[in-house]
Amino acid sequence: MKNLDLQEIRKQLDEIDQEMVALFEKRMELCKEVADYKIGTNRPVHDGVREQQKIEAVTGMVEGEFLKQAVRELFTQMMTISRNYQYKQMAENGLQASHSFQPVKNLTVDGVKVVYQGVEGAYSHGAALKYFGSKASLYHVSTWDDAMKEVELGNADYAVLPIENSSAGAVTDNYDLLMKYQNYIVGETFLTVNHALLGLPGAEEKDIKTVFSHPQALMQCGEFLNSNRAWKKISVENTAVAAKKVIDEGDLSQAAVASETAGELYGLKVLRSQVNTNQNNTTRFIILSKEAVYQDKAGKISISFELPHKSGSLYNILSNFIYNGVNMFMIESRPVPGSNWEYRFFVDIEGNLSHASILNALKGISEEGRNLRILGNY
């Protein structure tokens, strides 16, 4: 090839791009015909075997590892676009993702029974009060598992569980409980968490040898607690349980990391306030019900799904959000029990189950992933 100046090179690139766009339009027209055929024969959009065969064929048409990888990425992207186009065609024919959720104008909160983990003065207790107010009947159980079980059995209308902290991250045990029980997220509330070091009346900070608290609270106060290397840190079920333990055992060398409210409730002295590392420490709590309902004004959806352990599987799934204009808030992964290196992903997205774009995205995820569950719209 003769030497060309930059403008001539760009001109030729523009001509090639025009040809590529025209061919791409023709390809998408054929994709519509494929969608029409699949609608008529009730076949799924996603055909993993066909896509793999196609990738192997087109990568075999070029030489060199760089070009092979480039062609692989190019056609992977084109097939992703093709799938999403076909999902849209199906949606226009009424073949969207289905769900069992029912819309309601508002949640019933007056006179309901609400369960939380811990004892009075726990942060979960505070979150329940913040969300439901004084008209609900609140009671506590020992574990988060027990709280979920109470809702599933119908003993409680709602459960309040922490799910995420701005300092310590996800409360992973509770993500696992979302899969164990058939309860649904119907709301959320955020609580500012300010931990204090609490001791017996008459105790001083220099007297302390052992500190009790929930593992998340110990983590959130790590900078302060680790500066006192002689202290023994012991995990208990709940911050308020830690406060109660200190007052019950009456040992001047023991302290609890809990809220000042818990300290007042159990008659403890504040040895030091604001011991959390992040002074804007906030915990997100979810509200769970046995009923699969969502409010008309709901704007967040939580889902979960499993993926095969292979390259590009997560990207392909997330593309369903991209091509439907769906905003993603959060993604978290947990191991699938009994399957080494297989993961279940938990994703929060913006939207409402009445929106076509959401149903279209969920249709793609249900075909391309495994075991999709809609955890709630709230």
pLDDT in tens, 321-338: 998 999 999 999 999 988
Q: Are 77 and 123 in contact (CB under 8 A)?
A: no
Mention every residue, 6+ apart, whose C-beta is less than 8 A from residue 224. Answer: 197, 272, 275, 276, 277
* Tokens encoding 42: 């009730």
* Tokens encoding 28: 């998408």
The strand pair at 282-289 and 158-165 is best described as: antiparallel
Cα 162 to Cα 283: distance, rounded to the nearest angstrom? 7
Cα 24 to Cα 137: distance, rounded to the nearest angstrom? 61
Cα 130 to Cα 15: distance, rounded to the nearest angstrom? 63
Q: State which amino acid sits at residue 343.
A: Y
Position 339 scores a pLDDT of 85
* Nearest CA among 372, 375, 283, 326 for reference residue 97: 372
283 in helix, strand or coil? strand
SS3 content of the chain, % helix, strand, coil (to 5): 45, 25, 30
* Tokens encoding 45: 């959009």
Residues of the chain with pLDDT under 50: none
133 backbone φψ class: left, alpha, beta (φ>0; ψ -120 to 50):
left
Position 1 scores a pLDDT of 52
* Nearest CA among 275, 262, 120, 267 for reference residue 203: 267
> What are the catalytic residues?
283, 285
Domains identified in the chain and CATH numbers: 1-95 (1.20.59.10), 102-193+282-295 (3.40.190.10), 197-272 (3.40.190.10)
Cα 198 to Cα 43: distance, rounded to the nearest angstrom? 63
Tokens 């508002």 belong to residue: 106
Tokens 């002295």 belong to residue: 269
Position 2 scores a pLDDT of 61
In the chain, beta strands by DSSP E: 102-104, 113-117, 137-141, 158-165, 169-170, 184-192, 196-199, 210-213, 232-235, 254-258, 269-272, 282-289, 293-295, 300-307, 328-335, 343-350, 370-377
Mention every residue, 6+ apart, whose C-beta is less than 8 A from residue 50. Answer: none
Cα 264 to Cα 200: distance, rounded to the nearest angstrom? 11
Q: What is the DSSP letter of 336?
A: P
Cα 173 to Cα 166: distance, rounded to the nearest angstrom? 17
* Tokens encoding 337: 């029990």
* Nearest CA among 124, 107, 106 for reference residue 163: 124
Position 75 scores a pLDDT of 95
Q: What is the DSSP letter of 134?
A: G
The strand pair at 254-258 and 293-295 is best described as: unpaired
Mention every residue, 6+ apart, whose C-beta is less than 8 A from residue 281. Answer: 165, 166, 167, 192, 193, 194, 195, 220
353 in helix, strand or coil? coil
Sign of CA dihedral 299, 304, 305, 311: positive
* Nearest CA among 239, 191, 197, 199 for reference residue 216: 239
- Output the CA angle 289-181-193, nearest 5 degrees: 65
